């Protein structure tokens, strides 16, 4: 990312942002909805063309295979294009230490060059990964800021955590946000899945 590029993340900018989220069991969408409530930004949900299995062993087996192979599933055509937006919030569950393939698919199908990306994800305190780094690898010309990791759907602290994260993102330059350490989540807890 060109370090001289700077998108001013003031309030009006966040109101004009796009929120895009994939969620398997609803937690990430709840976080997306809370971001929309705070910012007033547009929100678009991503759905894979072929729904994922309902049973956990089959789901895990499929996700592990897709992540290993970098598979990008076909999506339903409802998700919005980021073209008109300078700032894009992108959300996913943490699946096997990375973003879910439907979000990877959406990111790789759109040109996010020059845009500020604010990543957020839901997780269960298991394998942490570097989700912002994985997003930056898919969007090398975007300014990917620090990721917000939220356990489950965030509970009572969600609103405060979101506001704090957005305030931090406004202060940080793209130069800082490109270091792997600074891309680690503010609210992630480590554990094992
Ligand atoms: C296949 C699969 C893999 C997962 N891998 C991780 C993981 O590596 N680390 C983690 O903290 N949570 C992991 N989780 C837990 C989810 O991230 C967590 O349940 C999250 O809240 C789900 O968000 P959603 O309701 O938006 O789908 C995994 C869940 C599934 C189904």
Q: What domains can be seen in the chain, in order of their start residue?
A: 11-183 (3.40.50.360)
Q: Is the pLDDT of residue 3 over 70?
A: no
Of all protein residues, whose CA lies closest to atom 30 belonging to ligand 1?
95
Would you say the CB of residue 193 lies under 6 angstroms from ligand 1?
yes
pLDDT-derived band at 173, boundaries 50, 70, 90:
low
Segment 7-31, tens digit of pLDDT: 777 766 888 999 999 999 999 999 9
Question: Residue 148 Cα, ligand 1 centroid: separation in angstroms?
Answer: 15
Of 5-9, 152-156, 158-162, 181-185, where does mean pLDDT reach its minimum? 181-185
Distance CA 43, CA 11 (A): 16
Q: Which residues, 6 or more positions from 168, have their beta carbon under 8 angstroms from its beta carbon?
A: 146, 186
Cβ(94) to ligand 1 under 6 A?
Answer: yes
> Under the phi-then-psi rule, with left for phi > 0, alpha for psi from -120 to 50, and beta for the rest, what region is 41?
beta
- Residue 97 Cβ inside 6 Å of ligand 1? The answer reads yes
Which of 135, 140, 70 is closest to 107 using CA atoms?
135
pTM reported for the whole predicted model = 0.89
Instruction: Give percent of the chain above pLDDT 70.
Output: 83
* pLDDT per position as a tens digit, 53-92: 999 999 999 999 999 999 999 999 999 999 999 999 999 9
* Number of the ligand 1 atom closest to the C-alpha atom of 29: 26
Determine if ligand 1 sits within 6 Å of the CB of residue 59: yes
Question: Which atom of ligand 1 is found nearest the CA of 191?
Answer: 11
- Geometric angle at alpha carbon 116, from 41 and 148, rounded to 5°: 75
Provide the H-helix boundaries in the chain.
11-15, 27-39, 56-69, 101-109, 131-138, 158-171, 174-177, 180-183
Query: Please, which residues bridge with residue 42 across strands?
Result: 18
């Amino acid at each position: 990312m060109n370090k001289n590029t700077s998108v001013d993340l003031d309030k009006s900018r966040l109101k004009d942002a796009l929120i895009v989220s994939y969620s398997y069991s609803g937690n990430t969408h709840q976080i997306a909805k809370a971001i929309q409530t705070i910012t007033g930004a547009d929100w678009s949900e991503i759905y894979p063309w072929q729904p994922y299995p309902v049973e956990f062993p089959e789901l895990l087996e499929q996700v592990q295979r897709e992540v290993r192979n970098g598979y990008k599933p076909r999506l339903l055509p409802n998700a919005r294009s980021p073209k008109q937006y300078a700032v894009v919030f992108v959300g996913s569950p943490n699946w096997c230490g990375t973003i879910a393939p439907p979000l990877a698919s959406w990111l790789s199908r759109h040109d996010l060059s020059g845009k500020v990306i604010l990543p957020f994800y839901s997780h269960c305190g298991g394998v942490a990964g570097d989700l912002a780094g994985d997003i930056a690898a898919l969007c090398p010309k975007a300014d990917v800021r620090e990721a917000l990791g939220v356990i489950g759907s965030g509970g009572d602290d969600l609103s405060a955590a979101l506001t704090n994260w957005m305030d931090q993102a406004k202060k940080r330059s793209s130069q800082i946000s490109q270091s792997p350490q600074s891309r680690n989540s503010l609210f992630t807890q480590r554990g094992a899945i």
